[in-house]
Amino acid sequence: MEDRLNRVFSALADPIRRDMVARLAADDATVNELAEPYDVSLQAVSKHLKVLEDAGLVSRSRQAQRRPVHLEAKVFDLMTAWIERYRRQAEERYRRLDALLAAMDDSTDGTRSPDQERGAS
Amino acid sequence: MSTTTHETTIEAVADVPAIRIVREFDASPEKVFRAHVEPELVKQWLGPRGLTMTIDRWDAQTGGTYRYVHRDDDGEYRFYGSFHEVRPHERIVQTFTFEGFPDGVALETMTFTDLGDGRTRIVGSSTFETFEGRDSALASGMEIGVNEGFEQLDELLARS
């Protein structure tokens, strides 16, 4: 799992690949459609796609002639969920810091607790 | 509405194993800095809610060290590191190790920017040695109720 996540993060390390993923989040697209906005060869785009595929971020339909590229939302969601959880925990800490800063007067002491009622649960 | 709410923004940087956090506060850089260096203040906000934070050492000056413990019903989580540079009201650079992963170390920088009008922006970045280290730090956040206590805090903020 960790190894897979490493692949995910490195797959997203490239700006073109990040952009592709963002576009695929809206809708499936063919290789040609994906390649259109970029000033790179179709081969280069295929290479980028291979990296995204190996990381499990995208899959390509085997049946349809167009072989549209599809974003595997599950992997992506997991990562996003982790980052969001981490962010929320940081936000929770910083809201406590907000309260502390508000309770600190500008005197030299500044050690008055904003939540002296807090139980040690 | 006298109170503004500043949501934390976070970024897992794509091409290096780093996490960047940005947050603004309605307080001067001096105050926000003090809340980061004075142990009596630090322990009031740094630990996750529902855990007891005990500071063994907190010598927030250039060349100083720190060590603290979070305890809950399931056990203890110890963290330690060194203060590489503490530049009053401007910048803190420190190392960070979770004793559960003794081989892992992150380099953390925190900058304090004066926005004027008694407001401050902090930008914190944690850079890990490997993507794996960064990802496990992201993934191993302890489960806590994120909404726990928000109402109380909002009340506190509204009163000030």
Note the pLDDT of residue A3: 63
Distance in angstroms between the alpha carbons of the first and the last residue of chain A: 34
Structure tokens given for B99: 């004793």
Is residue B75 exposed (0-12), middle (13-18) or buried (19+ Cβ within 10 Å)?
exposed
Which B residues, 26 through 65, put their C-beta within 8 Å of a C-beta on chain A?
Answer: 26-27, 31-32, 34-35, 38, 40-41, 44-46, 48-50, 52
Longest Cα–Cα distance in chain A? 73
Put simply, the answer to whether B27 touches A104 (Cβ < 8 Å) is yes
How is chain B split into domains, by residue range? 8-159
* DSSP reduced 3-state for A38: coil
Which B residues, 3 through 22, put their C-beta within 8 Å of a C-beta on chain A?
Answer: 6-10, 12, 14-15, 17, 19, 21
Higher pLDDT, residue B4 or A106: A106
Amino acid letter at A42?
A: L
Is residue A106 exposed (0-12), middle (13-18) or buried (19+ Cβ within 10 Å)?
exposed
DSSP A84-108: HHHHHHHHHHHHHHHHHHHH--SSS
What Cα–Cα distance (Å) separates residue B57 from each residue in A120, B37, B129? 21, 12, 25
Contacts of B34 in chain A (CB under 8 A): 104, 110
Contact (CB, 8 A) for B21 and B9: yes
Q: What is the DSSP letter of A29?
A: B
Note the pLDDT of residue B30: 95
Q: Give the closest of B135, B152, B160 to A9, CB-based.
A: B135
- Asked if CATH classification 3.30.530.20 holds for the domain at B8-159, the reply, yes or no, is yes
Residue A117 has pLDDT above 70, yes or no: no
Tens-digit pLDDT profile for residues A2-45? 566 667 767 876 778 878 887 888 789 999 999 999 999 999 99
Note the pLDDT of residue A110: 44
Instruction: Show the domains of chain A with their CATH numbers.
Output: 1-72 (1.10.10.10)
Structure tokens given for A115: 């939540």
- B82 DSSP β-pair partners: B65
Q: Cα separation of B80 and B152, whole Å?
A: 31
Contacts of A86 in chain B (CB under 8 A): 10, 19, 138, 141
Note the pLDDT of residue B154: 38
Tens-digit pLDDT profile for residues A34-62? 999 999 999 999 999 999 998 888 999 87
Consecutive 10-residue runs of chain B (160 residues): their mean pLDDT?
64 80 94 95 81 91 96 86 98 94 92 96 92 71 33 39
For residue A61, give the nearest of A28, A94, A92 by alpha carbon: A28
Contacts of A7 in chain B (CB under 8 A): none
Our CA-based measurement puts residue B8 at a distance from the nearest CA of chain A, in whole angstroms, of: 5
What Cα–Cα distance (Å) separates residue B107 from each residue in B37, B59, B83, B111, B128? 17, 17, 10, 13, 7
Its pTM stands at: 0.66
